[in-house]
Structure 1
Amino acid sequence: MAEKLKIKLSIANRVYPLTIDAHQEEGLRKAAKNIELMIKQFEQSYSVRDKQDVLAMCALQFASQVEQQSIDKTNVNSHIEEKLKNLNELLDSFLVSQRS
Structure 2
Amino acid sequence: MTDILKVAIEIAGRKYNVNIKETDKDIFEEAARMVSDTLNTYEQKYSYEDKQDLLALVLLQYTTSYIKMYRSKTGDNNDVVVSRLRQLNQVLTEITDKMEK
Unaligned runs of 5+ in 2: 77-101
CA distance in 1, matches of 2:20, 2:64: 26
1:29 aligns with 2:29: yes
Relative contact order, higher structure (CA 8 A, sep 6+):
2
Q: Cα deviation per residue 1:25-55 (whole Å; 9 max; x = unaligned)? A: 0100000000000000100001011011000
- Moved >3 Å (runs of 4+): none
C-alpha RMSD of matched pairs (Å)? 1.3
Shift in Å, 1:15: 0.3
Say whether residues 1:47 and 2:47 are aligned partners. yes
Paired positions, count:
75
TM-score (norm: length of structure 2): 0.69
- When normalised by structure 1's length, the TM-score is 0.70
Instruction: Provide Cα deviations, 1:77-99, integer angstroms capped at 9, x if missing partner.
Output: xxxxxxxxxxxxxxxxxxxxxxx
Query: Between the two proteins, what is the percent identity of the paired residues?
Result: 31
Separation in 2, partners of 1:8, 1:70? 28
Query: For the residues of structure 2 that align with 1:26 and 1:40, how far apart are their CA atoms?
Result: 21
Flag the structure with larger Rg.
1
